[in-house]
Structure 1
Amino acid sequence: MLDLFGDEDTLALAERHRPLPGRFGAGRRDRAGVLAGLDDLSEQAGGALGVVLGSGFEGAPDLIAEIAARHRLLGAGAETVAALKDPFRFAALCERLAVPHPAVSAGPVTQRGAWLVKRAGGCGGAHIRASAAGAVPPGHYLQARMPGRAFALNFLSDGRRIEPLALTEQWQSPSPLRPFRYAGALARGRDEAGPVPASLVAEIAEAAHRLARATGLTGLASADCLVDGERWWLLEINPRPGATLDVLDRRPTPLLIHHIEAALGRMPSIEAAPADATGAEICYAAQTRAAMPPLDWPDHVRDRPRAGSLVARDAPLCTVTASGPDAAAVKEELRARAEQVRALLEETENNHEFQHDRAEPQCPGRAVGREPRR
């Protein structure tokens, strides 16, 4: 495993881990660090089946091409990512394939509030701002602001056809500086009425299919949409496994296995969707903690920061998960579990008087802090 964080649960599961310097969401990756880390992990393993890329590479197709030249890439290649994540190429592709998509512009604009400023290749919503009149910052673009609720069609693609997995509902956790910050997602149970008409879900799936075939997309991906009554718009395709893994990975066969099979061009047989609804929500830090206290984390908490690690204010603290008979019960349980995490943190700090002016030294080969990650 090669990542920026080295969370407690990641280290418990990974056979080997190499940290990367930098901050998630910065728009750039440490090229030398990524290549050296992957080479080292592959050598220690005596060779590897391939490399699965997570988020953070959308704006670096050149780096993806370099990775693919050294290791088998299990998922979208450089040209696919470039076609899907370059905002102007993607908008032109959507127009050619008759996929509804908000207008994009390089700016400047005069209609204040009618456009959103987004970073090309950005992810997680933290990079999105309402536009003001004037020039667009380098590396950013404008997308027309559309009405509706946020959803994502999660699917597998083998480059020729797709297999939809779930339509997840998404919501935001706004902060003063990040009004569109991603918060969480929920997949309804197998027999629960869906929030979007089946005809619209079929339209979204067909659009995702056309785009996957046109770009050669393989592996696990998601199509982010806005739905407003009988209208919908495709915002983007995320050509990789994403934050909804905690929500989707509930079938007998691990979703990563299905991703690898589809990435190799073999569409797997997908088991029936689970009966219960499931959701995941990010807990953001209300204040900077120079050193996290040691916590007895509940089993339903993911992305657990290690004791002694830095967590910046407004950065993700952890992720809580919940399942239940329907969407309403899951949302209620997610809120309750998020409050439990905050109470646990406060109680631990009070009981142990865990006070540090700076982060404790970390073990060699482990990351020292965490910043916004999705």
Structure 2
Amino acid sequence: MNNELQQIDLEITHGYILIVANSGRMLAQSARAAGFRPLVIDLFADLDTQHYAEDFKQIASLAEQDLKPAVDYFIESYQVVQLVYGSGFEHHPESLCYLNNRLSLLGNVPEVFIALHNKPAFFSELKRLNIPYPSVQFNKPDEFEAWLLKPSRGLGGVGIKHYLGEEVDSECYWQRYQKGQQYSLLFLADGLQVQIIGFNSQWTANLAECSEFLFSGIINACDLKLEQQDEIIEWLKKLVPLFKLKGLNSVDFINDGDSSYLLEINPRPSASMQLYEADLFKRHIKACQGKLTDDHYPIKGVTGYQIVYAQSDIIIPEGFVWPKNCLDFPENGVICRTGQPICSIMSHKKQVLSIMRDLQSQQLNLQKRFLAHGI
């Protein structure tokens, strides 16, 4: 799509905007709050996604053949020309190229997205810039103790597991297991400069032999020292201009108490976006157009987000009443298989410990109710 469309001032038009992601609820909610009229293409069509969307289409996957009919429908029916994408294109980078040819893409261009998932080249750049990361190998290690097996195009920890010497396909690589606390940093970028939104602590769940490190939850608080935070920011000052990152992005890293190690960059709006009341959807668009605003949004209290996974196969019963803090909740009759996400929950408190207790309590109460509706 031509550059003129990329410079359209959406703050003035506040018209239709297309959201495409595995799950479009977060971006649709944020777009609606910013005054836009979101049109959503995603895989789940959750009830709250439908609520925030002006119109929606549920598709089987983000592969181009599944995307094309839905994209055609929205272009023909609404004359939509702008697109913001979320998670899921890690497995379908070619679909980003297709979307970029059809619409004005407000986010990192496909070349940037693809470059960050070229793992040999990515880690080579980290080494050149003296940015620490857990050791990686792209050939089978001689020994398998203390190695993780990771998919080259990873998403949310799916497919990450301890390596036990098994045969693997060519779409994987090996990384040394690193003990420590997992963190992320949410930031805006204009291709050259970086603007920090916030540091977050996150945690994982072990729900299957093939996915031992599934993303489970995140909270907009961390116990890193200021000098440790500054180190991560210095990394980004090198990486943003190198990869020409734009819009909302996040970087995942791990800290063992003394040292930090970079894990990956997520070149798209991530789940931590919803932890901040900072008009981030509009600021994402402006950053993609080369404008980092000076707006300051003080953080009040602490916000946590957690995914509730199915402990066994369940079916959402007719008349099921979802608690008020639930998000991403499916329609009645939907079957959720063991290990699949059912919904997500949020909590806002003054203290971190209160958040963690509340999230745990909400999850346990939901799981007790779901147990009564197994298959």
Relative to structure 1, is the Cα distance of residues 292 and 141 closer, same or farther in structure 2, using a 3 angstrom cutoff? farther
Distance 1:326 1:217 in 2: 33
Preserved contact between residue 191 and residue 241 of structure 2 (Cα < 8 Å): yes
CA RMSD of aligned residues (A): 1.8
Q: Which one of the candidate residues 113, 123, 148 is aligned to 1:91?
A: 123
Preserved contact between residue 109 and residue 134 of structure 1 (Cα < 8 Å): no
Tell me how far 1:145 sits from its aligned partner. Answer: 1.8
Tell me how far 1:289 sits from its aligned partner. Answer: 2.2
- Report the AA paired with residue 70 of structure 2: G
Q: Which one of the candidate residues 19, 37, 45 is aligned to 1:6?
A: 45
What's the counterpart of residue 57 of structure 2?
Answer: 18
What's the counterpart of residue 133 of structure 2?
Answer: 101
Distance 2:319 2:142 in 1: 51
Residue 268 of structure 1 aligns to a residue whose secondary structure is coil
Q: How does 1:284-299 map to 2 (within 5 A)?
A: 284-299=309-324
Q: How does 1:50-69 map to 2 (within 5 A)?
A: 50-69=82-101
Residue 124 of structure 1 aligns to a residue whose secondary structure is coil
Q: Which one of the candidate residues 326, 330, 347 is aligned to 1:322?
A: 347
Q: Which one of the candidate residues 249, 255, 270 is aligned to 2:295?
A: 270
Tell me how far 1:318 sits from its aligned partner. Answer: 0.7
Bigger mean CA offset, 231-240 vs 257-266: 257-266
Q: Relative contact order, CA 8 A, sep 6+: which one is greater?
A: 1
Residue 150 of structure 1 aligns to a residue whose secondary structure is strand
What's the counterpart of residue 180 of structure 2?
Answer: 148
TM-score, scaled to structure 1: 0.85
Distance 2:80 2:271 in 1: 28
Preserved contact between residue 223 and residue 236 of structure 1 (Cα < 8 Å): yes
Distance 1:270 1:139 in 2: 42
Residue 136 of structure 1 aligns to a residue whose secondary structure is coil
Q: How does 1:168-317 map to 2 (within 5 A)?
A: 168-177=200-209, 178-188=211-221, 194-248=222-276, 250-251=277-278, 253=279, 255-317=280-342
Q: Give CA-to-partner distance per residue, 1:155-188, whole Å, 9 cap, x none.
A: 1111111111111101111124221111100013
Relative to structure 1, is the Cα distance of residues 304 and 158 closer, same or farther in structure 2, using a 3 angstrom cutoff? same
Q: Which one of the candidate residues 349, 357, 365 is aligned to 1:340?
A: 365
Q: Give CA-to-partner distance per residue, 1:307-338, whole Å, 9 cap, x none.
A: 11121111111111001111111111111111
Distance 1:305 1:61 in 2: 27
Relative to structure 1, is the Cα distance of residues 187 and 291 closer, same or farther in structure 2, using a 3 angstrom cutoff? closer
Preserved contact between residue 301 and residue 320 of structure 1 (Cα < 8 Å): yes
Tell me how far 1:135 sits from its aligned partner. Answer: 4.2
- Report the AA paired with residue 109 of structure 2: G
Q: Which one of the candidate residues 35, 38, 41 is aligned to 2:68?
A: 35
Distance 1:134 1:319 in 2: 34
- Report the AA paired with residue 119 of structure 1: P
Tell me how far 1:342 sits from its aligned partner. Answer: 2.5
Relative to structure 1, is the Cα distance of residues 35 and 93 closer, same or farther in structure 2, using a 3 angstrom cutoff? farther
Q: Give CA-to-partner distance per residue, 1:283-315, whole Å, 9 cap, x none.
A: 111111245443221221101011111211111
Bigger mean CA offset, 156-165 vs 265-274: 265-274
Preserved contact between residue 114 and residue 144 of structure 1 (Cα < 8 Å): yes
Residue 126, structure 1, aligned to residue 161, structure 2 = no
Tell me how far 1:64 sits from its aligned partner. Answer: 1.4
Preserved contact between residue 91 and residue 103 of structure 1 (Cα < 8 Å): no
Between structures 1 and 2, the one with greater strand share: 2
Residue 307 of structure 2 aligns to a residue whose secondary structure is strand
- Report the AA paired with residue 245 of structure 1: M
Bigger mean CA offset, 266-275 vs 171-180: 266-275
Relative to structure 1, is the Cα distance of residues 143 and 292 closer, same or farther in structure 2, using a 3 angstrom cutoff? farther
Residue 248 of structure 2 aligns to a residue whose secondary structure is strand
Distance 1:109 1:293 in 2: 51
Distance 2:316 2:196 in 1: 42
Tell me how far 1:65 sits from its aligned partner. Answer: 1.7
Residue 229 of structure 2 aligns to a residue whose secondary structure is helix
Tell me how far 1:233 sits from its aligned partner. Answer: 0.6
What's the counterpart of residue 191 of structure 1?
Answer: none
Preserved contact between residue 316 and residue 330 of structure 2 (Cα < 8 Å): no
- Report the AA paired with residue 218 of structure 1: K
Question: How much identity, in percent, do the aligned residues show?
Answer: 27
- Report the AA paired with residue 161 of structure 2: R
Relative to structure 1, is the Cα distance of residues 174 and 270 closer, same or farther in structure 2, using a 3 angstrom cutoff? farther
Tell me how far 1:344 sits from its aligned partner. Answer: 4.0
Aligned residues: 335
Bigger mean CA offset, 321-330 vs 93-102: 93-102
